[in-house]
């Protein structure tokens, strides 16, 4: 018995020794892991540290509530959880914060839907018809000719005759948004939600692509991002057909001039805006011959608008589109003949080893400058390694991925793996008005709360803002100026925020 006791005592002391060693090793492990998250290499000033303490208290409170109650808003579809976002103090903090650039957004989905409904649909000379349960719009000097499936009527007269203007406008709004009371029954699978998503572009196209509206729409969109503390944008465009009241249409060259003029006017009106560029991004569901035409046009536009035209992409639902492997010859010709930069949407899919996720491999081997979404890259370790070695960033759009049914709970987003290991990630917002978001803050907030560790702090937010400018297509001097401007805005934000939370604060950095 005594022998056993001694053994027990001996074992117990050995356990105590091992426990202390274990705890030290555990602490070192966690410190090493925390030293690898995106932004962990940034050093905070004393002022930033104070603001960070304030922010992290808010973050911990939200996370602790979600952990205790299982009521975690980023695990819920944004189509129904948006009011919770708006009430978050962390979200309100992020809204006030400088965010650098939004460099993955699409041209006809950047401006709040209220502008289309309350402003554009109240303009003169607008007609509408119903085709396949979706509204088509058209501005015209006189009523367009009817067809078997489209009987045109004046929007203003239809509104007046509706008997309820609010219900009439609400019906238009419903035709533009994906927001529904029960998205799970309305969109039972990814193809269903994409089908509704694409209807938005049909309905909105007749409104946005009328030349006077087109100019106003883009100016308003830039303004919304600017008010969200975004200072630079790169906008993908299909180069839609822009039309005039008499039915004539703008050429692609004239459309680019329109972008250039709107961007120039906005920058003149807002001197602390770093500008905007265009990525020509037509549909991927086409033939190889059509892609040759796309590349040819992109090459001409790049030569004609070297400061405006950033590069080329192909867009549309990837699973139902044509994979990049089918377009190798025209894509390679674009690089050899004009050094055209590519920003391919690739791997926006749940599949593994299919043509869609293999687009990631082709995008990298085709020397893409950035990869749009790249959702499936976590399933391809060699692709992660290659992208990191080549410093090719992934443009992550969290809310788009959730609403379009790639991931239901943002804590499970594969980009969490990338951001935990300091992979070059950019956060952007894709098509925010379609799901009742706006600008960039909602996606920053979703990433910060759901796609990073509990202990990931303000350095992450600062780093992804840096990344949005560092990985932009701004040239050397312009990029340096934009980053310098961001740093000035960041410092002003930190100091002004401190004065609000600590009225007696005096800067001592």
Reading across the β-sheet that carries 309-312, which strands appear in turn? 101-106, 232-237, 276-280, 309-312
Query: At 345, which helix (H) or strand (E)?
Result: strand 345-346
Q: Are the C-beta atoms of residues 282 and 330 closer than 8 Å to each other?
A: no
- Alpha carbons 199 and 204: distance in angstroms, whole number: 8
Among residues 321, 412, 399, the alpha carbon closest in space to that of 358 is found at: 321
- Write down the catalytic residue from 348, 380, 395, 413: 348
- Alpha carbons 390 and 367: distance in angstroms, whole number: 9
For this structure, is 104 an active site residue? Answer: no
- Write down the catalytic residue from 104, 106, 345, 373: 373
Residue with tokens 């590069």: 311
Residue 23 CB coordination number (10 Å): 10
Of the CA atoms within 13 Å of residue 264, those in its CB half-sphere come to: 8
- Alpha carbons 313 and 238: distance in angstroms, whole number: 9
Among residues 353, 356, 450, 354, the alpha carbon closest in space to that of 399 is found at: 450
CB within 8 Å of 188: residues ≥ 6 apart: none
Q: Are the C-beta atoms of residues 103 and 396 closer than 8 Å to each other?
A: no
Burial class of residue 344, CB neighbours in 10 A (0-12, 13-18, 19+): buried
Reading across the β-sheet that carries 126-131, which strands appear in turn? 134-139, 126-131, 153-154
Residue with tokens 């309350």: 118
For this structure, is 373 an active site residue? Answer: yes
Residues with catalytic roles: 348, 373
């Amino acid at each position: 018995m005594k022998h056993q006791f001694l053994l027990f005592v001996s074992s117990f002391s050995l356990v105590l020794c091992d426990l202390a060693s274990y705890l030290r090793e555990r602490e070192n492990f966690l410190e090493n892991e925390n030293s690898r998250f995106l932004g962990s290499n940034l050093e905070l000033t004393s002022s930033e540290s104070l603001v960070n303490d304030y922010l992290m208290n808010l973050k911990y409170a939200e996370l602790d509530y979600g952990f205790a109650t299982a009521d975690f808003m980023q695990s819920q579809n944004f189509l129904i959880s948006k009011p919770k976002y708006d009430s978050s103090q962390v979200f309100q903090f992020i809204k006030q914060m400088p965010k650098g650039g939004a460099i993955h957004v699409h041209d006809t989905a950047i401006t709040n839907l209220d502008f289309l409904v309350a402003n554009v649909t109240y303009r003169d000379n607008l007609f509408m018809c119903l085709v396949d349960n979706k509204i088509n719009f058209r501005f015209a000097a006189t009523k367009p000719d009817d067809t078997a499936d489209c009987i045109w009527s004046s929007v203003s007269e239809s509104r007046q005759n509706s008997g309820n203007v609010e219900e009439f406008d609400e019906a238009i709004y419903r035709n533009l948004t994906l927001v529904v009371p029960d998205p799970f029954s309305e969109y039972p699978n990814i193809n269903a939600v994409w089908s509704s998503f694409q209807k938005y572009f049909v309905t909105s196209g007749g409104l946005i692509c009328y030349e006077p509206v087109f100019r106003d729409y883009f100016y308003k969109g830039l303004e919304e991002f600017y008010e969200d503390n975004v200072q630079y944008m790169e906008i993908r465009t299909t180069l839609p057909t822009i039309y005039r009241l008499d039915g004539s249409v703008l050429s692609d060259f004239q459309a680019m001039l329109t972008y250039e003029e709107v961007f120039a006017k906005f920058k003149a009106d807002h001197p602390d805006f770093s500008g905007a560029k265009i990525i020509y991004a037509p549909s991927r569901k086409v033939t190889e011959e059509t892609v040759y035409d796309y590349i040819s046009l992109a090459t001409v536009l790049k030569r004609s608008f070297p400061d405006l035209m950033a590069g080329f992409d192909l867009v549309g639902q990837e699973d139902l589109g044509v994979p990049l492997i089918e377009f190798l010859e025209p894509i390679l010709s674009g690089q050899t003949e004009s050094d055209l930069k590519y920003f391919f949407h690739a791997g926006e899919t749940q599949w593994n080893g299919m043509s869609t996720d293999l687009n990631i491999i082709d995008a990298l081997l085709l020397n893409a400058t950035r990869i749009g979404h790249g959702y499936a890259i976590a399933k391809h370790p060699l692709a992660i390694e290659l992208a990191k070695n080549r410093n090719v960033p992934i443009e992550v759009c969290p809310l788009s991925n959730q609403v379009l049914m790639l991931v239901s709970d943002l804590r499970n987003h594969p980009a969490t793996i990338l951001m935990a290991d300091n992979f070059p990630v950019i956060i952007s917002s894709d098509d925010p008005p379609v799901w009742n978001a706006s600008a960039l803050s909602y996606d920053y907030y979703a990433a910060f709360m759901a796609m990073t560790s509990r202990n990931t702090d303000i350095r992450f937010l600062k780093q992804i803002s840096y990344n949005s400018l560092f990985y932009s297509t701004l040239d050397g001097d312009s990029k340096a100026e934009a980053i310098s401007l961001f740093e000035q805005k960041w410092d002003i934000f930190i100091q002004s925020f401190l004065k609000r939370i600590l009225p007696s604060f005096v800067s001592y950095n």
